[in-house]
Amino acid sequence: MSDGAPERAATAPPADAGLAERAMQAVNQVALRVGMVALVSASLVLTYSVVSRYLFKASTDWQDESAVFLLVGVAFLCAPYVQQQRGHIGIEAVAAILPARVNRVRQVLVDIASALFCGFFAWKSWKLLHEAWVDGQTTSSSWAPPLWVPYGLMMLGMTLLTLQIILQLTPRARRRGVRA
């Protein structure tokens, strides 16, 4: 890239990547593709809604929830891929003024804090999914889709994100400087 930003394309794992890293990268690639389809689907659903209301004066009570479910899936399922690329928002000004050794320590501490937060979020998502499944919870709309769908997407995405961060904390990944 001409602006000095690091390349973020990851087509193949490094040669010395372990089995867990290669498996996680494969899962991230599948989630990314599913996310792409879901994003296009959400835009089509919302476009259909606008057109049908404007042209046919037809009310669609399902489109908002279906689009939200799709966007929740995109956000949570693609988060591990973004983390794999180290593409989440960060404060680059701090990294630029710190010595390299101190910056590596900062990055490890941030990764540990992120893993703890995401692990807690994943655990709570598992609980929400279980409650929604057992109690048969649905949304309050007339369409009333089951709540286990967005909670399941949230649980899967946060669990995978936690695993991705933990993988990046492994000594092998640290030695390689994975997407640092």
pLDDT per residue as tens, the chain (180 positions): 334 444 444 455 666 678 889 999 999 999 999 999 999 999 999 999 999 988 998 877 899 999 999 999 999 999 999 999 988 777 777 888 999 999 889 889 999 999 999 999 999 999 999 999 999 999 998 899 999 999 999 999 999 999 999 999 987 666 665 444
Per-residue pLDDT at 15: 62
What are the phi and psi torsion angles at 8 (to 5°)?
-115, 5
Helix crossing, 148-168 with 19-56: angle to 10°? Answer: 150
Domain presence at residue 14: no
Number of domains in the chain: 1
Domain presence at residue 155: yes
Per-residue pLDDT at 18: 85
Domain presence at residue 138: yes
Domain presence at residue 3: no
Per-residue pLDDT at 94: 83
Domain coverage including residue 42: 19-176
Rounded CA gap, 95 and 81, in Å? 22
- Determine the length of the chain: 180
Domain presence at residue 2: no
Contacts of 80 (CB under 8 A, 6+ apart): 24, 27, 28, 31, 157, 160, 161, 163, 164
Domain presence at residue 114: yes
Domain presence at residue 10: no
Per-residue pLDDT at 32: 97
What are the phi and psi torsion angles at 138 (to 5°)?
-130, 170
The strand pairing partners of 6, in sequence order, are none
Domain presence at residue 5: no
The whole model's pTM is what? 0.84
